[in-house]
Amino acid sequence: MRLEDRFDLAHAPNPRLDRPGSRGRPRIRLRATEELAMPKRRDQIKMSDEEIWKLIEERKSLQVATIGADGAPHLTTLWFAIVDGEIAFETFTKSQKIVNLKRDPRIAVLVEDGIAYNELRGVAINGRAELHDDPAVVLPFARAMVRRNQPEVPEEHVEAAAKMMAAKRILVTA
């Protein structure tokens, strides 16, 4: 197959490229024709919404990135919960994450999985954090957090554990 058959040969609009090349031929810009276009790797590995939620539901922790006072990322790993399709985590009110989010609400979280390189996958979510310190708002998430991440806690103790968490913690949603 000839080069002309495989590629759309177009002279570059740049006059510098229209000068003869090192072998006396005009320089050309090659554009692959439609039939030769390779599928993008991103399109091949992109997860569906169903796959994204399945991964999120299977994982127990997420990485949380906030922005420190000096502009450097502050990265931590936390447990999280899902209530009515909303992902949230709770933490101590005076934690560095909360100090950072009060100053700058931009946040990024990552849920990831895989050991070998070809198994790696993840879901990154960027947004603006909303902070909730009302125990009535924190309580349903605290219950979900205990049930999800500490299944060994007997159901009769879940409420007491959740109330303790809700009293002194802040909930972060985005």
What is the structure's pLDDT at 62?
95
95 in the same domain as 16: no
17 in the same domain as 51: no
Q: Which helix (H) or strand (E) holds 165?
A: helix 155-168
State pTM to two decimals.
0.71
Can you tell me whether residue 26 is helix, strand or coil?
strand
What is the structure's pLDDT at 75?
98
- Asked if residue 102 lies in contact with residue 91, where contact means CB atoms within 8 angstroms, the answer is no
18 in the same domain as 99: no
Decide which of 7 and 81 is more confident: 81
34 in the same domain as 91: no
115 in the same domain as 52: yes
- Asked if residue 27 lies in contact with residue 19, where contact means CB atoms within 8 angstroms, the answer is yes
* Segment 134-163, tens digit of pLDDT: 999 999 999 999 999 999 999 989 999 999
What is the structure's pLDDT at 6?
46
55 in the same domain as 34: no
65 in the same domain as 10: no
Domain that holds residue 14: 3-38
> Above 90 in pLDDT, residue 3?
no
Q: What does the block give as tokens for 80?
A: 């999280």
Binned at pLDDT 50, 70 and 90, residue 33 comes out as: low
DSSP string, 89-104: EEEETTSHHHHHHHH-
CATH number at residue 157: 2.30.110.10
32 in the same domain as 50: no
- Asked if residue 135 lies in contact with residue 166, where contact means CB atoms within 8 angstroms, the answer is yes
94 in the same domain as 33: no
155 in the same domain as 87: yes
32 in the same domain as 57: no
What is the structure's pLDDT at 46?
85
> Above 80 in pLDDT, residue 5?
no
What is the structure's pLDDT at 174?
84
> Above 80 in pLDDT, residue 22?
no
* Segment 35-54, tens digit of pLDDT: 556 667 667 778 889 999 99
* Segment 56-105, tens digit of pLDDT: 999 999 999 999 999 999 999 999 999 988 999 999 999 999 999 999 99
Number of domains in the chain: 2
Q: Which helix (H) or strand (E) holds 7?
A: strand 7-10
129 in the same domain as 52: yes
